[in-house]
Structure 1
Amino acid sequence: MSLVAGSYERFIWGFKLKTLKHSQETLTLTPLFTFPSHISPIRSVAVSGSAAASGGADDTIKIYDLSTTSEIGSLNDHSATVTALSFFTPPSLSFPRNLISASDDGAVCIYDADPFVHLKTVHAHKKGVNDLSVHPSGKLALTVGRDSCLAMLNLVRGRRSFFCRLGKEASIVKFDLAGDKFFMVMDEKVSVHESEDAKLVFEMDNQKRVLCAAPGTVSFL
């Protein structure tokens, strides 16, 4: 398993997560690479198999090959800070099929990942995109933005298929592992919805603002 991290100091780090030989329960991080990749702070990263990507405030996406621990190219189709990145990798493949990116001007770019070719730009929001999530099928994606709206994108046709106002800005949106449900984070609140019609299933209030969240393998809903 690989771990990639970016910083406001423009540096990106790559690590390999391994189990120690004498203990299958103990994990260790082995450094793979460290170098200044962007000319501005790194705002987003994504990893799938041997491919990794980072997005920065320099409006650029950098692509990396983890098998050779090297940077292999740049994508320059955004005109604002790249705020979110997500790969889509079919279960039958070891390398991603698509890369989806979003930026601070509300745009979402769709790329073919083999090779990395820009396919379409969709203007999903009137303000910056905070987060995006690709459905396990790879056919659609959800985005939330600073315009306090939720958008659904048809990745096959390359267009926005659904748009609604939330009443409050959401910072995180994620599908669950099966794609049947998705959840959003709004400050201290986490809401879970049906993917088919966005029907509210469950809400949870936290004592402090939620900064990060991820779907788990066990569901209690």
Structure 2
Amino acid sequence: LPPLPSPPSPMALVAGSYERFIWGFSLKALAASSDEAQALAPLFSYPAHAGPIRCVAAAPRAGLAASGGADDSIRLYDLRAAADLGPLLDPSAAVSALAFHSIGPVPRNLLAASDDGLLHLYDADGFALLTSLRVFPRGREAADALAVHPSGRVALAVGRAGGLSMVNLLRGRRSFTCRLERPASAVAYAQDAAGGDRFVMAAEEKVTVHDSEDARIIHEMRCDKRVLALAPSKVFIHICCGSW
């Protein structure tokens, strides 16, 4: 007999707010043949930080999430147990961007950028601080978005003043930096349909796709409104636009 189809796996949605609350929701993935509407089910709600939450990141297969706040701290969450695991207090300024790097279901590293221009690199096993480094030559330029290459060897950071920096995560140092025409608000790694290595950046209403080897622009798209977030998949790039 053929194996029974596995039930749709649950998904988690994590959101932070200026009112210092973080919310977790579960959503059961729809079967391909199902037309039934699904509602988000609340998992947890915490007044997590002493100030506005600036950023969140998740390692969904490991059931972990993190939030960074204006109170100079990072908090960790167990999504399966709906539990607050406590804070990381290493940053000395507001946390502006977070990113996990995972291999399979196991998170290897957590990256955290702060408003004093530092990038903090943590080992996800115990969340010990491995190193802190300056992301941009202009010492206190903060990174507003981070992207970790699937290999875990390098990461990209885009800065508030228009910087683009590549960080060698194996050696813990900055390996490349340049100035952009306009400050980018989002960056993400992606692959094209043929498996080519790309990264995507958003600056205001423009989205550009770059070759990862030489950063040349392969494709450019313009949206009607400012791009707020990017979510690449194997073939598509999902873009969230809005206005302030």
TM-score (norm 1): 0.92
1:34-56 CA-partner distances (Å, limit 9, x unpaired): 11010000011111131110000
Segments of structure 1 that go 5 or more residues without pairing to the other structure are none
Q: Which residue of 1 aligns with 2:46?
A: 35
Q: Which residue of 1 aligns with 2:85?
A: 72
Q: Which residue of 1 aligns with 2:227?
A: 210
Residue from 152, 156, 171 that aligns with 2:170 = 156
Q: CA RMSD in A?
A: 1.8
User: 1:100 aligned to 2:117?
Assistant: no
Q: Which residue of 2 aligns with 1:7?
A: 17
Residue from 114, 129, 142 that aligns with 1:118 = 129
Segments of structure 2 that go 5 or more residues without pairing to the other structure are 1-10, 238-244
Superposition map of 1:75-90 within 5 A: 75-90=88-103
Q: CA deviation at 1:24?
A: 3.7
Give the AA of the match of 2:201. M
Residue from 170, 187, 190 that aligns with 2:184 = 170
Give the AA of the match of 1:121. S
Give the percent of matched residue pairs that are identical in Structure 1 and Structure 2.
53
Q: CA deviation at 1:20?
A: 7.0
Number of residue equivalences: 217
Pick closer, same or farther for the CA change 1:19–1:132 going to 2, 3 Å: closer
SS of equivalent to 2:228: coil
1:11-40 CA-partner distances (Å, limit 9, x unpaired): 11111111479x744433111111101000
Residue from 112, 115, 132 that aligns with 2:146 = 132
How far, CA to CA, are the matches of 1:120 and 1:215 in structure 2? 28
How far, CA to CA, are the matches of 1:205 and 1:19 in structure 2? 31
Pick closer, same or farther for the CA change 1:77–1:179 going to 2, 3 Å: farther
Q: CA deviation at 1:157?
A: 0.8
Pick closer, same or farther for the CA change 1:20–1:199 going to 2, 3 Å: closer
Q: Which residue of 1 aligns with 2:218?
A: 201
Q: Which residue of 2 aligns with 1:61?
A: 74
How far, CA to CA, are the matches of 1:209 and 1:117 in structure 2? 37
Residue from 58, 78, 98 that aligns with 1:47 = 58
Ranges of 4+ aligned residues in structure 1 off by more than 4 Å: none
Residue from 201, 207, 219 that aligns with 1:190 = 207
TM-score (norm 2): 0.84
How far, CA to CA, are the matches of 1:34 and 1:120 in structure 2? 31
Give the AA of the match of 2:54. R
After superposing the two structures, state which structure 1 stretch, 143-152 or 201-210, moved more.
201-210
Is the 1:135–1:179 contact (alpha carbons within 8 Å) kept by the matching residues of 2? no
Is the 1:19–1:28 contact (alpha carbons within 8 Å) kept by the matching residues of 2? no
How far, CA to CA, are the matches of 1:153 and 1:12 in structure 2? 29
Is the 1:151–1:162 contact (alpha carbons within 8 Å) kept by the matching residues of 2? yes
Q: CA deviation at 1:176?
A: 0.7
Is the 1:109–1:120 contact (alpha carbons within 8 Å) kept by the matching residues of 2? yes
